[in-house]
């Protein structure tokens, strides 16, 4: 993936989502965007050069002329080191960082599925996978578009790689979309039984909190990008993405940053604590104060901040990890969130894949302590999370930005898959937890189906 030349042209600044619509049906295109007030950059990847996948413990690489299993000692990943060794090898062959802005913030665009935890920890997988997708995909593009939302400037970047490749494929779809028959995995009794089971584990001293979720499945017809546009119009979350990755269309309306890194400075911003915006200014202020004064939400946030301090501390310079803000209130169109801000400086010999290995999955969507929580999640959740609560990212050797995949949908083979859940603590009331999940499901269903 060595770049020989980069041609940069300044183009007219406009909304990145509107601009992307012309590419939305093209094969393996990607959009990373957010609110133009809070998200500094939006990026588009177009005309894929190389597609790297990891599925069933095998790497495959696809270019315009061929697709092949990687013939190295890592082609069959038999232990938890092989995946990370091979991805580091690929990262080491990239040279985006040798070019000036805006090329320097571009890179491979892709995702790590939540199921990649099995390439980090020795946790048995017992959940059922009711749909299949790779655990990891990483795409390098011939063409990027960068939108500087603060400076109101935009750029088209056309790259010349050492080896030419342009994977081209187009599909025609309807102008709109339709969703029917959305059904959750659990009824009230089943979900409350799972909450009680987690509270038993907490009383036994196994864990402090566990993030429990359930899957919702329905029928999907039509244009997945139109669903993204609708969700983004309702809530232009700062870490939103749309990935048209072949048979998988990935719609993500995430408010949560996982990792942001530039020249070895690391930042992570876990979210714990959510409340609806009020319908009037008075009600909105009351809801904000209620969230800020919630001891339960504060305790959840502080636990996850401590977990993430420990995670990034594994790979950061001694003494560099600091909590910059222990409890920040962030406002979105529909909700208020409590957010923590933690920073550190990576050690010199640590790559961004090493950082991901040390911190993945994000503690805000597992619970604390992380390993035991992931075992309990696997025990209690019926279906594999797949990409839900994984991360979507853009990476080169000196720049990384990644989100937590929440408020998301996977569309595949005429079906749509969503998840909803929340943190269970010792103070959790099973009935209230189910009602909170119902409320979240109601928001999802109204956004997706319009009623």
Task: Please state, in angstroms and rounded to a whole number, the distance separating the CA atoms of residues 393 and 416.
Answer: 22
Torsion sign, CA atoms 332, 21, 150, 258: positive
- SS3 state at 227: helix
Task: Please state, in angstroms and rounded to a whole number, the distance separating the CA atoms of residues 43 and 157.
Answer: 11
Task: Please state, in angstroms and rounded to a whole number, the distance separating the CA atoms of residues 125 and 369.
Answer: 18
Q: Which DSSP letter does residue 59 get? A: E
Q: Would you call 168 exposed, middle or buried from its count of C-beta atoms within 10 A (0-12, 13-18, 19+)?
A: exposed
Place of tokens 């990373």: 32
Q: In Å, how far from its chain's centre is CA 114?
A: 9
Angle at 74 between CA 266 and CA 398, to 5 degrees: 20
| Whole-number Cα distances in Å, 337 to 38, 298, 372 | 15, 11, 26
Task: Please state, in angstroms and rounded to a whole number, the distance separating the CA atoms of residues 159 and 407.
Answer: 33
Nearest to 338, CA basis, from 310, 306, 364, 375? 364
Angle at 89 between CA 88 and CA 90, to 5 degrees: 90
Task: Just list the catalytic residues.
Answer: 256, 272
Q: Would you call 162 exposed, middle or buried from its count of C-beta atoms within 10 A (0-12, 13-18, 19+)?
A: exposed
Bridge partners of residue 93, in order along the sequence: none
- SS3 state at 39: coil
Burial state string for 178-191 with b = 16 or more CB within 10 A and e = fewer than 16: ebeebebbbeeeeb
Task: Please state, in angstroms and rounded to a whole number, the distance separating the CA atoms of residues 350 and 341.
Answer: 21
DSSP annotation string for 251-301? EEEE--EEEEEETTEEEE--EEEEEEPPSSHHHHHHHHHHHHT-HHHHHHH
Task: Please state, in angstroms and rounded to a whole number, the distance separating the CA atoms of residues 436 and 274.
Answer: 11
Torsion sign, CA atoms 254, 255, 256, 261: positive
């Amino acid at each position: 993936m060595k770049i020989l030349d980069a041609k940069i042209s300044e183009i007219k600044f406009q909304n990145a989502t509107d601009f992307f619509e012309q590419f939305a049906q093209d094969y393996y295109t990607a959009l990373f965007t957010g609110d133009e007030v809070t998200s500094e950059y939006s990026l588009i990847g177009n005309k894929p050069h190389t597609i790297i996948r990891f599925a069933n413990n095998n790497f495959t690489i696809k270019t315009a002329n061929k697709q092949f299993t990687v013939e190295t000692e890592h082609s069959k990943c038999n232990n938890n080191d092989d995946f990370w060794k091979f991805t580091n090898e690929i990262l080491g062959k990239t040279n985006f960082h040798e070019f000036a802005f805006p090329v320097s913030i571009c890179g491979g665009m892709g995702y790590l599925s939540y199921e990649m935890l099995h390439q980090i920890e020795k946790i048995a997988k017992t959940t059922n996978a009711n749909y299949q997708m790779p655990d990891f995909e990483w795409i390098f593009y011939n063409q990027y578009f960068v939108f500087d939302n603060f400076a109101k400037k935009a750029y088209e970047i056309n790259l010349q790689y050492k080896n030419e490749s342009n994977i081209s494929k187009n599909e025609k779809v309807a102008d709109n979309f339709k969703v029917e028959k959305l059904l959750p995995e659990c009824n009230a009794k089943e979900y409350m039984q799972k909450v009680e089971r987690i509270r038993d584990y907490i009383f036994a001293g196994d864990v402090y909190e566990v993030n429990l979720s359930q899957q919702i499945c329905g029928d999907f017809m039509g244009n997945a990008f139109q669903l993204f546009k609708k969700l983004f119009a309702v809530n232009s979350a700062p870490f939103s993405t749309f990935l048209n990755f072949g048979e998988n269309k990935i719609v993500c309306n995430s408010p949560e940053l996982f990792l942001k890194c530039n020249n070895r400075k690391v930042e992570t911003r876990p979210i714990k604590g959510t409340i609806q915006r009020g319908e009037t200014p008075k009600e909105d202020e009351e809801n904000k104060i209620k969230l800020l004064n919630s001891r339960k939400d504060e305790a959840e946030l502080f636990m996850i901040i401590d977990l993430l301090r420990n995670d990034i501390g594994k790979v950061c310079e001694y003494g560099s990890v600091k909590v910059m803000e222990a409890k920040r209130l962030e406002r979105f169109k529909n909700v208020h969130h409590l957010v923590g801000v933690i920073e550190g400086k990576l050690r010199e010999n640590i790559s961004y894949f090493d950082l991901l290995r040390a911190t993945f999955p994000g503690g805000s969507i597992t619970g604390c302590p992380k390993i035991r929580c992931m075992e309990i999640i696997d025990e209690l959740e019926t279906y594999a999370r797949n990409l839900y609560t994984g991360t979507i990212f853009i990476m080169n050797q000196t720049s990384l930005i990644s989100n937590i995949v929440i408020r998301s949908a996977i569309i595949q083979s005429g079906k749509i898959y969503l998840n909803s859940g929340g943190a269970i603590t010792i103070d959790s009331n099973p009935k209230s937890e189910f009602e909170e999940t119902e409320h979240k499901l109601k928001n999802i269903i109204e956004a997706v189906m319009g009623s």
